[in-house]
Structure 1
Amino acid sequence: MYAKLDKLREDLKKAVAKREAADAKVKQLEAKLKEEENQQIVSDVASYNLSPDQLAQFLQLANSGRLQEMLSGQVPMPGAVNADTSGKKQDEDNETDMDKEEEDFLDEENE
């Protein structure tokens, strides 16, 4: 007598189960896509060989809307060293500081 209703209920249960499986697959694919996007971003950023400070400066420029100024040369690139002698002196100072830090680290390690 209620065969038609029983059939509709059974079809509804199957459809709900399919929908739940599809929703789970969608969530899984969204998570996988997000992970791949993040890996691509990290790979792209790493290819520029920027220090964390340089990357932070670059992102600040981009966030402030001044990225176009940097690209056109109106604002120096993050971490860029001027071609004058003060830039050379600064590089020499940085190397000396790095050597001292490395020596300090090695001394601490050997203690």
Structure 2
Amino acid sequence: MYTIGREFVPPATHAGGLRYHGAAPILSNLLQHQWIEAVAYPQRSVLEAAVRFARTEGMVPAPETAHAIKGVIEAALAARCAQQEPVILFNYSGHGLLDLAAYDDYFHDRLSDD
């Protein structure tokens, strides 16, 4: 498992989604064998993608789900530029109705990308 270490203490900040400094063993293995690529996005752009999704689909995604949505949007835009039509599959893992504070912070410009 990849980790920042047991001594790591993340800074006290609001972060969209779960912030865990390790990864599941299966994900670590898939990454190590280059079957997947790990991608990180700034949280403001993630919430921007979530708002776009909510306005389009009528469902408010959880911040964790919003990271996947941001990746889907990026993959779709890249496919369009390459004139490709791939099948893009993602896991909508949950609604954001319990995370409305994150959206409030986003709309009131209280989120940072740090």
- Of the two structures, which has the highest relative contact order with CA contacts closer than 8 Å and spacing of 6 or more? 2
Q: Which has the larger radius of gyration?
A: 1
Q: Per residue, is there more helix in 1 or in 2?
A: 1
